[in-house]
């Protein structure tokens, strides 16, 4: 079936063996190592097939029923399905499913609500804010005046008093809540209250937790935020891409901010693949998956703590674990390299008040493979042993290969 066609890349192999070898090598890498990068997942064969479908050929500027190109009547059906499924899944009045990525979704949200030079309050980059939350290397930091809030040094939790004080002082036009490395649920009602007090818009950048929201294991920002930005490829397990949710009154501004303001034609194969992923995410099987993702992350966090790592916030509510490996004698950057040699693939990240000293792990991908709490305990033990120098990375690599082989992400 389509799985074989897509995964084996028969057409590519016949025509371009050189590139086919690269594709197969990446497939082999993904299935013989452990993907603990918190932003990654394994999309289903159906989502992959939609991505590789000829819908990719279609040019479709505009929105269903109102396109700048002819011949859009069929892809319009795919986009309508994606929008219907997204609004039903998240209880939102409006969904834009055209954003090419999470960053594009955030750009469009700013474009819908702000003017260059406006003040925006967001989680500081050293505390887990995303590039689009005011990095000087990103459009956000260049075009807007960002003020950063932080987390409490002791608890690792968002400092609500500071958020309120900064909002009162700076009177931002928008407040952003969302992070690349926050293992706990955010208090959306709190952010709404502060935004209302100072007359700011509230933008929730739920790129990471949106899949957990779909699975019913994380609180939804939809009732609280003016605009919710998200990715479709993290825990949500869809194609690489972005999505924006909002109320009816902002729908037109959001749609115009995506097209024609920040993007041209939609990628209709990605839109179709998003529809497939939203369909999957609405099933009881996905809710069960989301519960297992969190259970696995909690087990991983506890096992890492038992091995001596310092787990930020003392645990997790989500798929994400942030840990300081310093007690084992390494920093995050060194640890990432040593673990990569063992086939344990993860990110280093900023710890509160410190760059690159921490490790960020996520359980979305390994849970899709079917791994459970037993495997999480095994992985934590192996990881700590490699970092302590008790197990050579090359030796650990064999254990990882054996474990991964027992949980293939795709059928052989
Ligand atoms: C992943 C992420 C993004 C960006 O997603 P891309 O698709 O890589 O552009 C934006 N914001 C947050 C909070 C994220 O975690």
Counting ligand 1 atoms within 8 A of each CB, the residue from 101, 204, 207 with the most, and so the one to mutate, is 207
Q: Flag whether 156 is in a domain.
A: yes
Atom 5 of ligand 1, nearest CA residue: 102
Ligand 1 centroid, distance to 210 Cα (angstroms): 11
Which ligand 1 atom sits nearest the alpha carbon of residue 205? 13
Cite the active site residues.
59, 61, 205, 231, 234, 240
DSSP state of 221: S
Q: Flag whether 38 is in a domain.
A: no
- pLDDT per position as a tens digit, 43-82: 999 999 999 999 999 999 999 999 999 999 999 999 999 9
Give the integer Cα–Cα distance in Å for 191 and 224.
8
- Answer yes or no: do 261 and 325 share one domain: no
Q: Is 265 left (phi over 0), alpha (psi -120 to 50) or beta?
A: beta
Q: Flag whether 211 is in a domain.
A: yes
Give the integer Cα–Cα distance in Å for 82 and 98.
10
Describe the crossing of helices 393-405 and 373-388 by its angle, rounded to 10 degrees: 170
Q: Flag whether 7 is in a domain.
A: no
Contact 114, 254 (CB under 8 A): no
178 lines ligand 1 (CB under 6 A): yes
260 φ, ψ to 5°?
-100, 10
Helices (DSSP H) in 247-331: which residue ranges? 251-256, 268-281, 284-306
Domain boundary among 220, 247, 281: 281
| Residue reference for tokens 């972005």 | 242
39 lines ligand 1 (CB under 6 A): yes
Radius of gyration of the chain (CA): 21
| C-alpha separations of 189 from 69, 133, 196, 269 in Å | 42, 20, 11, 36
138 lines ligand 1 (CB under 6 A): no
135 lines ligand 1 (CB under 6 A): no
Question: Cis peptide before 96, with omega less than 30 degrees from 0?
Answer: no
208 lines ligand 1 (CB under 6 A): yes
Atom 8 of ligand 1, nearest CA residue: 102
Give the integer Cα–Cα distance in Å for 400 and 342.
7
Q: pTM of the predicted model, to two decimals?
A: 0.96
128 lines ligand 1 (CB under 6 A): no
Q: Flag whether 17 is in a domain.
A: no
Atom 3 of ligand 1, nearest CA residue: 102
- Answer yes or no: do 332 and 235 share one domain: no
Domain boundary among 252, 281, 310: 281
In the chain, what is the greatest distance between 2 CA atoms, to the nearest angstrom? 64
What's the total number of domains in the chain?
2
Q: How many CB atoms lie within 10 A of CB 53?
A: 16
Give the integer Cα–Cα distance in Å for 107 and 205.
11
356 φ, ψ to 5°?
60, 15
- Answer yes or no: do 178 and 292 share one domain: no
- Answer yes or no: do 292 and 261 share one domain: no
- pLDDT per position as a tens digit, 138-151: 999 999 999 999 99
Q: Flag whether 262 is in a domain.
A: yes
- The string of DSSP letters for 27-95 reads HHHHHHSEE--TT-----HHHHHHHTSGGGG----EETTEESSSS-HHHHHHHHHHHHHHHHHHT-SEE
Atom 1 of ligand 1, nearest CA residue: 207
Ligand 1 centroid, distance to 17 Cα (angstroms): 33
Domain boundary among 250, 281, 312: 281
- Answer yes or no: do 298 and 254 share one domain: no
- Answer yes or no: do 151 and 252 share one domain: yes
Ligand 1 centroid, distance to 16 Cα (angstroms): 33
102 lines ligand 1 (CB under 6 A): yes
Give the integer Cα–Cα distance in Å for 291 and 373.
12
Q: Flag whether 39 is in a domain.
A: no
Counting ligand 1 atoms within 8 A of each CB, the residue from 37, 135, 137, 231 with the most, and so the one to mutate, is 231
Counting ligand 1 atoms within 8 A of each CB, the residue from 40, 97, 102, 206 with the most, and so the one to mutate, is 102
Domain that includes residue 255, residue range: 54-281
Q: Flag whether 10 is in a domain.
A: no
Q: C-alpha angle with apex 370: 241 to 48, nearest 5 degrees? A: 30
- Answer yes or no: do 256 and 354 share one domain: no
Which ligand 1 atom sits nearest the alpha carbon of residue 39? 1
Ligand 1 centroid, distance to 123 Cα (angstroms): 14
pLDDT by 10s per residue, the chain, length 412: 344 445 566 788 889 999 999 999 999 999 999 999 999 999 999 999 999 999 999 999 999 999 999 999 999 999 999 999 999 999 999 999 999 999 999 999 999 999 999 999 999 999 999 999 999 999 999 999 999 999 998 899 999 999 999 999 999 999 999 999 999 999 999 999 999 999 999 999 999 999 999 999 999 999 999 999 999 999 999 999 999 999 999 999 999 999 999 999 999 999 999 999 999 999 999 999 999 999 999 999 999 999 999 999 999 999 999 999 999 999 999 999 999 999 999 999 988 767 788 999 999 999 999 999 999 999 999 999 999 999 999 999 999 999 999 999 997 6
pLDDT the model gives residue 1: 34
Ligand 1 centroid, distance to 207 Cα (angstroms): 6
- Answer yes or no: do 245 and 270 share one domain: yes
- Answer yes or no: do 270 and 298 share one domain: no
Which ligand 1 atom sits nearest the alpha carbon of residue 240? 7
Give the integer Cα–Cα distance in Å for 313 and 155.
5
Give the integer Cα–Cα distance in Å for 288 and 226.
29
Q: Of 366, 103, 138, 110, nearest to 241 (Cα)?
A: 103
Provide the CATH number for the domain around residue 396: 3.90.1150.10
Contact 89, 279 (CB under 8 A): no
């Amino acid at each position: 079936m389509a799985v074989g066609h897509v995964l084996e890349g028969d057409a590519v192999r016949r025509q371009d063996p050189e590139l086919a070898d690269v594709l197969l090598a990446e497939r082999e890498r993904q299935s013989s190592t452990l993907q603990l990068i918190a932003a990654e997942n394994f999309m289903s064969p159906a989502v992959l097939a939609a991505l590789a479908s000829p819908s990719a050929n279609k040019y479709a500027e505009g929105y269903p029923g109102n396109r700048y190109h002819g011949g859009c009547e069929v892809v319009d059906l795919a986009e309508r399905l994606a929008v219907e499924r997204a609004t039903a899944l998240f209880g939102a009045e409006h969904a834009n499913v055209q954003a090419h990525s999470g960053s594009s979704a955030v750009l469009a949200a700013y474009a819908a609500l702000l003017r260059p030079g406006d003040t925006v309050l967001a989680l500081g980059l050293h505390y887990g804010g995303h590039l689009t939350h005011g990095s000087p290397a990103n459009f956000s930091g260049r075009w807007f005046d960002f003020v950063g809030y932080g987390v409490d040094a002791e608890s690792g939790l968002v400092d609500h008093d500071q958020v309120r004080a900064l909002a009162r002082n700076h009177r931002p036009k928008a407040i952003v809540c969302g992070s690349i490395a926050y293992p706990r649920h955010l208090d959306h009602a709190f952010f709404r209250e502060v935004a209302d007090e100072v007359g700011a818009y509230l933008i929730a950048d739920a790129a990471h937790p949106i899949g957990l929201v779909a699975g019913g294991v994380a609180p939804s920002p939809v009732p609280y935020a003016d605009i919710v930005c998200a990715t479709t490829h993290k825990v949500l397990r869809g194609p690489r891409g972005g999505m924006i949710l909002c109320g009816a009154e902002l729908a037109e501004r959001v749609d115009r901010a995506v097209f024609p303001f920040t993007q041209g034609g939609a990628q209709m194969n990605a839109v179709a693949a998003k529809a497939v992923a939203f369909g999957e995410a609405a099933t009881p099987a996905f809710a069960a998956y989301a519960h297992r993702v969190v259970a696995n992350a909690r087990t991983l966090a506890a096992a890492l703590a038992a091995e001596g790592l310092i787990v930020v916030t003392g645990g997790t509510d989500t798929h994400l674990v942030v840990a300081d490996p310093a007690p084992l004698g390494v920093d995050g950057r060194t640890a990432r390299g040593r673990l990569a040699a063992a086939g344990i693939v993860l990110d280093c990240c900023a710890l509160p008040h410190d760059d690159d000293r921490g490790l960020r792990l996520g359980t979305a991908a390994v849970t899709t493979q079917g791994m459970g709490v037993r495997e999480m305990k095994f992985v934590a033990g192996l990881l700590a042993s490699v970092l302590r120098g008790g197990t050579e990375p090359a030796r650990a690599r064999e254990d990882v290969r054996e474990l991964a082989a027992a949980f293939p992400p795709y059928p052989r």
